[in-house]
């Protein structure tokens, strides 16, 4: 089978598509023919050796996919060849086939296409864990989302609006903000051309925002934290901007506010039952059309590196997927 290979730490330009042996299932595992795999910012970090997970070289990047089970190993019950499924893996999804523990696949909701499901689990799993579980977002509260047109950002815009919040989307271009409005943002801030703190003051006044969702970090974080109101919460999602901010602790004292860490992957390890229940509920909403993920670009496996370049250059919006059979 063909797979994208990372043979040395570096940027997307050093990745190559090569023939590798097809995977066989061990006991308790299934092999899935990958129909579509979601592209995530952590893929970029992983190929550079900058992510929490550092696979031995060479390896195939890609952490989420949707496809069809082709083979089941000994002792597998409840999943059969022919079943359409979605799954998350530590790495290995940018390939024609992927082997996973049968216990970690979930049924693809009926009527949902592979591309929509492939980019769903990480973005919506993270946004749900952040907003519902860590942020305790309440209907009527104000939610500020930074990097709002990106993968985890747009999922937070969509979920925040669905949870009844007033969503303020902040991003680097008017085109990205138009995408956010189409997915439930009622107010927008272009932080390339507008001062974030001044614009937030104009939008929410002295009350401040209740919840901030920050996948970007860097110089945006301190003005956003200072814009939080009494008992507000600040969700640390990631550092796509490349810089981990240092924050003045007195700001939290003055506001009675909290800085809250969010790591979806660790939640799944520490609280597997709760996270699986949440994902099942999210997939139900995907299946009945209440959630409609925005897939803005699809690439064949041969051009998978270009998909990663688009994330690195900030030109991607919503979710980008790789389709190995295209």
Write out the residues near ligand NAP by the rule CB under 6 A.
40-42, 122, 126, 147, 149-153, 171-172, 176, 215-216, 237-242, 262-265, 311, 314, 316
Residue given tokens 């979806």 in the structure block:
264
Residue given tokens 């989420």 in the structure block:
64
Longest C-alpha distance within the chain, in Å?
A: 62
What is the C-alpha to C-alpha distance for residues 120 and 302, in angstroms, rounded to an integer? Answer: 22
Least separation, in Å, of the C-beta of 202 and ligand NAP? Answer: 20
Q: Which is nearer to ligand NAP, 22 or 315 (CB)?
A: 315
CA-based torsion, 43, 48, 53, 54: positive or negative? positive
What is the C-alpha to C-alpha distance for residues 104 and 281, in angstroms, rounded to an integer? Answer: 16
Q: Which is nearer to ligand NAP, 79 or 144 (CB)?
A: 144
Q: Which is nearer to ligand NAP, 33 or 225 (CB)?
A: 225
Question: Is there a contact between 128 and 52 (Cβ–Cβ < 8 Å)?
Answer: no
Least separation, in Å, of the C-beta of 135 and ligand NAP? Answer: 12
Least separation, in Å, of the C-beta of 103 and ligand NAP? Answer: 21
Q: Which is nearer to ligand NAP, 142 or 317 (CB)?
A: 317
Least separation, in Å, of the C-beta of 29 and ligand NAP? Answer: 25
The tokens describing 55, both together, are 């696979």
Q: Which is nearer to ligand NAP, 163 or 240 (CB)?
A: 240
Least separation, in Å, of the C-beta of 109 and ligand NAP? Answer: 22
Report helix, strand or coil for 107: strand
Least separation, in Å, of the C-beta of 1 and ligand NAP? Answer: 26
Which whole-number Å values give the CA distances from 274 to 51, 133, 136, 160, in the listed order? 25, 10, 15, 20
Q: Which is nearer to ligand NAP, 76 or 308 (CB)?
A: 308
Least separation, in Å, of the C-beta of 20 and ligand NAP? Answer: 26
Least separation, in Å, of the C-beta of 311 and ligand NAP? Answer: 4
- The answer for 28, left when phi > 0, alpha when psi is -120 to 50, beta otherwise, is left
Q: Which is nearer to ligand NAP, 26 or 54 (CB)?
A: 54
The tokens describing 136, both together, are 């305790």
Q: Which is nearer to ligand NAP, 69 or 126 (CB)?
A: 126
Q: Between 272-287 and 121-128, two packed helices, what is the crossing angle to 10 degrees?
A: 120
Report, in angstroms and rounded to the nearest whole number, the Rg of the chain calculated over CA atoms: 20
- For 128, counting Cβ atoms within 10 Å of its Cβ (0-12 exposed, 13-18 middle, 19+ buried), the class is buried
Question: Of 112, 93, 107, 103, which is closest to residue 46 (Cα–Cα)?
Answer: 93
Question: Is there a contact between 122 and 238 (Cβ–Cβ < 8 Å)?
Answer: no
Give the residue at shortest CB distance from ligand NAP: 150
């Amino acid at each position: 089978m063909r797979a994208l290979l990372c043979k040395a730490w570096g940027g997307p330009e050093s990745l190559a598509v090569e023939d590798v042996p097809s995977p066989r299932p061990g006991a308790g595992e299934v092999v899935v023919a990958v129909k579509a795999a979601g592209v995530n910012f952590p893929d970029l970090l992983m190929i550079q050796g900058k992510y929490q997970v550092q696979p031995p070289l060479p390896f195939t990047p890609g952490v989420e996919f949707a496809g069809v089970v082709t083979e089941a190993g000994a002792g597998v019950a409840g999943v059969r060849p022919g079943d359409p499924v979605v799954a998350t893996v530590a790495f290995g999804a940018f390939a024609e086939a992927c082997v996973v523990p049968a216990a970690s696949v979930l049924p693809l909701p009926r009527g949902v296409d592979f591309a929509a499901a492939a980019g769903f689990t990480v973005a919506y799993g993270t946004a749900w864990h952040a907003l519902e579980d860590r942020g305790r977002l309440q209907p009527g509260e104000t939610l500020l989302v930074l990097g709002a047109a990106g993968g985890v950002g747009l999922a937070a815009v969509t979920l925040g609006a669905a949870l009844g919040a007033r969503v303020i989307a902040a991003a680097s271009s008017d085109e990205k903000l138009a995408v956010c409005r189409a997915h439930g943002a009622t107010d927008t801030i272009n932080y390339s051309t507008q001062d974030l703190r001044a614009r937030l003051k104009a939008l929410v006044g002295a009350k401040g925002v209740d919840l901030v969702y920050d996948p970007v970090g860097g110089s945006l974080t301190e003005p956003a934290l200072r814009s939080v109101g009494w008992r507000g919460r600040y969700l640390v999602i990631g550092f796509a901007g490349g810089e981990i901010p240092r924050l003045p602790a007195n700001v939290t004292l003055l506001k009675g506010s909290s800085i809250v860490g969010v790591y979806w992957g660790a939640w799944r390890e520490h609280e597997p039952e709760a996270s699986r229940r949440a994902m099942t509920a999210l997939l139900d909403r995907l299946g009945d059309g209440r959630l409609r993920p925005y897939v803005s670009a699809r690439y064949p496996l041969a051009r998978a590196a270009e998909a990663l370049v688009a994330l690195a250059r900030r030109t991607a919006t919503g979710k980008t997927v790789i389709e190995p059979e295209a």
